[in-house]
Amino acid sequence: MKRDVPRRRQLTTEDYFDGVRACDITVLPRALTLIESSNAAHQRQAEALLTRLLPHTGDAIRVGITGAPGVGKSTFIESLGLQLTAQGKRVAVLAVDPSSGISGGSILGDKTRMGRLAAEPGAYIRPSPSAGTLGGVAGKTRESMLVCEAAGYEVLLIETVGVGQSETMVAEMTDCFLALMLPGAGDDLQGIKRGLLELVDVIAVNKADDATRKAAEVAAHQYEMAIHSILGKQDNPPQVLTCSALHNKHVDEVWQAIEERYTAMKAGGELAAKRRRQQVRWLWAIIEERMKQALREHPGVRRIRDSLEADVLDGNLPPEVAASKILEAFGLQDR
């Protein structure tokens, strides 16, 4: 006999607001799911919720953490998170998982990888699929940060996909940007980009364990030389350290470097100015995303899209001409 599964009560905007402000762990994930939803009604309610929550945001330190797969991001975040919660701080981790380009699905395994941190009452881990968003972050990471801040989390750790996309988006939504590197710089050093060095605040060579400690120290020195060579005599160059997240060694020193950077920016007014600039870029990023969504869903565009794509695929039509036809169907002239 089939059992009727009771449906969860639909929450009002007031319910969401009260639950988030109280850090109700049964409401918080539902609020984040609402924020991430592409449903038009959900988006309108999410906007109303964010407007209500906005005065209660902005007090957390926002830290972006990037690094290539295998560098130990999750291990580092768990080690750092456990240290911070032991000090009485409340920590939210927004961990972005790679999404399948075919199905859009993701592994969402961070709660498994960070089992000890997930069990801490003062920590909250939210895995989100990147869903094709460039920059190593999820499409609603910024909004999710605001919800977590309104819930009273004092430290936000944004773990990026770290699969080689531009890291600009990460830097444009966080206060401090940490890059984790592997010992034995080698190819990493050869491929390090000026743009990344201009974005990061702290570089930490992870896995400085007994067997690889010397290699990590050599790599750290090489990164320092690269910073000096590429950036020259910059006033506040990225700080380079070594650590072992697995053995919980020197992770506190990495956090101290991040806190020092944050405190200096806040005292000098740079933090407030940086966040204001981020807000404006966020505005235009939202406009661009919604314009793309409106373009894809426009009836006139949908009628001709498949045939135009087929003509471009077969080499019968230049992409520029097809683009003009799509914009014309949308009601815009590109020239």
DSSP string, 132-175: T-TTSS-TTHHHHHHHHHHTT-SEEEEE---SSS--HHHHTT-S
Banded pLDDT at 170 (limits 50, 70, 90): confident
Which pLDDT score, from 0 to 100, does residue 194 have? 67
User: Taking the model in full, what pTM does it have?
Assistant: 0.85
Q: Which residue has the higher pLDDT, 229 or 11?
A: 11
Banded pLDDT at 146 (limits 50, 70, 90): very high
Banded pLDDT at 108 (limits 50, 70, 90): very low
Banded pLDDT at 198 (limits 50, 70, 90): confident
Which residues, 6 or more positions from 146, have their beta carbon under 8 angstroms from its beta carbon? 50, 53, 54, 57
Banded pLDDT at 138 (limits 50, 70, 90): very low
What is the overall mean pLDDT for the chain?
85
Q: What percent of the chain has pLDDT over 70?
A: 83
Which pLDDT score, from 0 to 100, does residue 176 have? 96
Banded pLDDT at 184 (limits 50, 70, 90): confident
Which amino acid does the sequence have at 251?
V
Burial class (CB in 10 A: 0-12, 13-18, 19+), 137: buried
Question: Residue 56 has what DSSP assignment?
Answer: G
Q: In angstroms, what CA-CA distances link 92 with 61, 144, 217?
A: 11, 10, 31
Question: Residue 8 has what DSSP assignment?
Answer: P
Cross-strand pairs, 62: 156
Domains, the chain = 8-55 (1.20.5.170), 57-267 (3.40.50.300), 282-330 (no CATH)
How confident is the model over 261-271, as pLDDT tens digits?
Answer: 999 999 999 99
How confident is the model over 24-65, as pLDDT tens digits?
Answer: 999 999 999 999 888 889 999 999 999 999 999 999 999 999
Which pLDDT score, from 0 to 100, does residue 131 have? 46
Here the tokens at position 58 are: 């902005």
Q: Do residues 301 and 295 touch, judged by C-beta distance below 8 A?
A: yes
How confident is the model over 74-104, as pLDDT tens digits?
Answer: 999 999 999 999 999 999 999 865 443 333 4
Given a cut of 90, is residue 236 above it in pLDDT? no
Which pLDDT score, from 0 to 100, does residue 139 have? 65
Give dist(CA 54, CA 70) in Å, integer: 36
Question: Residue 300 has what DSSP assignment?
Answer: H
Which pLDDT score, from 0 to 100, does residue 106 have? 40
Which pLDDT score, from 0 to 100, does residue 186 have? 53
* Ranges 183-192, 241-250, 280-289: which has the least confidence: 183-192
